[in-house]
Amino acid sequence: MDKVLEVSQLSKVYGKGCASCFELTGPEHNTNICPQCGSIIAAHNVSFDLYKGEILGIMGESGSGKSTAVKCLNFDQPPTSGHVTFYDNDKQYDLFAMNAAQQRQLANKRFGMVYQNPHLGLNFDISAGGNIAERLLMSEVKNYAEIRSRASNLLTRTEVLTERMDELPKNFSGGMQQRVQIAKALATNPPLLFLDEVTTGLDLSVQAAILDLILEIQQEQQTSMIVVTHDLGVIRLLAGRTLVMKYGRVIESGLTDQILEDPQHAYTQRLVASAL
């Protein structure tokens, strides 16, 4: 089994921080705001491994730090501290030792990110096909005909009518926008995909279709994925292993069926007991 990602003690603090920040926050203090200096400890000491073809779930309520962790990995925001190694075939990258240009290039070619809000993942001023082309142009593909055919294949793959590829994303339904986002994320065949609440707020039938699509992609291409969600159903369906976060800390991790059937932490027990 090949390791794809090794995350070690990732932390993100908003604010100036002080010596007591980590000591006075966390689940046992019921807060992620430092009482001394008012900084927000969005994530602290998050560590995990991700293997090839594996889907890891990160579960927790709003403000638990689950999105922050993934956004740091995708270079959307710089971490305060921590160390992450990305293994890409025979190459390996120390993510936070790279400069911004290198980071952008790596994320564009080898990572895919799908956000809950399609406005973050798509450029709404250009067409669906144009969004995919933009990503292909930034990597290696420059030929117009090839870009066009790749975009059309990707949209077919994610079940967006190719007749609509020249339309602006704002004309699409929410579910369709998510599909375009997924097509864009998949454009460069990335080995690593981040999915941040991708089905939240969509109709149940659309959710199901998108989750099925995600599973198909994982099976066909052995893509490694990190799925951030507060939805236990999504976790149950997609993730083999799960981390549970609260107030910026990982409070529990394990096999998904174990987390759901034999949760150890009081908070996880309450979360699982609240499932519909």
Partner 1 sequence: MENSGRIVMNINDKPILRVEGYSKYFELHEQHKVIPSSDDVSLEVFPGKLTALIGPTGAGKSTVLKGIYRTYLPNSGRLLFRTKEDIEIDLAQVDEHQILELRKTEIGFVTQFLHSLPRQSTEDIVAQPLIKRGMDKTQARDLAREMLSAMNLPEALWGISPATFSGGEKQRVNLARGLVSRPRLLLLDEPTASLDPKTTEKIITLIENLKADGVAMLAIFHHPELVERMADNVVQLEPPIRIQKTLKEIA
Task: At 133, list the tokens.
Answer: 């082309």
User: Restricting to residues 48-107, which ones interact with partner 1 according to CB under 8 A?
Assistant: 49, 51, 54
164, 128 contact by CB (below 8 A): yes
What values do phi and psi take at 142, rounded to 5? -120, -15
Task: At 75, list the tokens.
Answer: 């270079």
Task: At 97, list the tokens.
Answer: 């030792």
Binding window for partner 1 (CB under 8 A); candidates: 5-13, 73-81, 160-168, 255-263: 255-263
Binding window for partner 1 (CB under 8 A); candidates: 61-69, 85-93, 97-105, 256-264: 256-264
Q: Check residue 258 for interaction with partner 1 (CB under 8 A).
A: yes
Binding window for partner 1 (CB under 8 A); candidates: 97-105, 109-117, 185-193, 262-270: 262-270
* Minimum gap (Å) between residue 267 Cβ and partner 1: 9
Choose which of 90, 212, 250, 251 interacts with partner 1 (CB under 8 A): 212
* Minimum gap (Å) between residue 104 Cβ and partner 1: 31
Amino acid symbol at 271:
L
Q: Which of 85, 246, 115 is nearest to 181 (CA)?
A: 115
Q: Check residue 273 for interaction with partner 1 (CB under 8 A).
A: yes
User: What does the alpha-carbon distance between residue 274 and residue 276 come to, in Å, rounded to a whole number?
Assistant: 6
Q: Check residue 240 for interaction with partner 1 (CB under 8 A).
A: yes
* Minimum gap (Å) between residue 196 Cβ and partner 1: 23
Q: What is the DSSP string of 150-183?
A: HHHHHHHHTT--GGGTTS-GGGS-HHHHHHHHHH
